[in-house]
Structure 1
Amino acid sequence: MHTRLIRVGNSQGIVLPKKLLQQYHLAGEVDLRPTPEGLLITPVAKPARQDWDAQMQAALAAGQEPEGELLEGFADSSQDEWQW
């Protein structure tokens, strides 16, 4: 695939086709690494548990209840045993 460099202020950039953005899950921030073969563009992965608290609060506010494995093993637990 060929494309042209375009002027963006004092820099230059490229436009990536939507199909490539979707295929390689590129959105928001990307990581650029020079390699001997050329420039490698990879998505920036969020830490696995980032935003879990906000998502849980939003789900609870929407009336959803935790279910399945999330609650397994906690039914008989007492909060007195936990260190907060």
Structure 2
Amino acid sequence: MNTRLIRIGNSQGIILPKKLLQQYQLAGEVNLQPTPEGVLITSVTKLPRQGWDERFQHSAAQGQVPENELLEAFSDEVFEETEWQW
């Protein structure tokens, strides 16, 4: 499949056919990776809470910890001792 580069402002781009976009599930943000054969275009999938673990570890390394009330609210003992209301 051949296509042409088109001028977009001071840059150039290509238009990908809808069929290719659907086949490779490309939408929104994509990742461009140079390879010896050309440019590889892949979908950027953002998962819910992606990167949270790294951010928590970074915060903990800097001495930032959750408030004591928050820790107590989610401890097993509090869950066992507290009545649940529905």
TM over 0.5: yes
In structure 1, stretches of 5+ residues that fail to align are 51-77
Pairs within 5 Å for 1:50-65: 50=49
Q: Provide Cα deviations, 1:11-55, integer angstroms capped at 9, x if missing partner.
A: 0000000000000000000000000010000000112x35xxxxx
- State yes or no: 1:42 paired with 2:42: yes
Q: Which has the larger radius of gyration?
A: 2
More helix, by proportion: 2
Amino acid paired to 2:36: P
In structure 2, stretches of 5+ residues that fail to align are 50-76, 81-86
CA distance in 1, matches of 2:78, 2:15: 54
- State the match for 1:80 in structure 2: 79
Count of residue pairs the alignment pairs up = 54
Shift >3 Å, 4+ stretches: none
- State yes or no: 1:3 paired with 2:36: no
- State the match for 2:32 in structure 1: 32
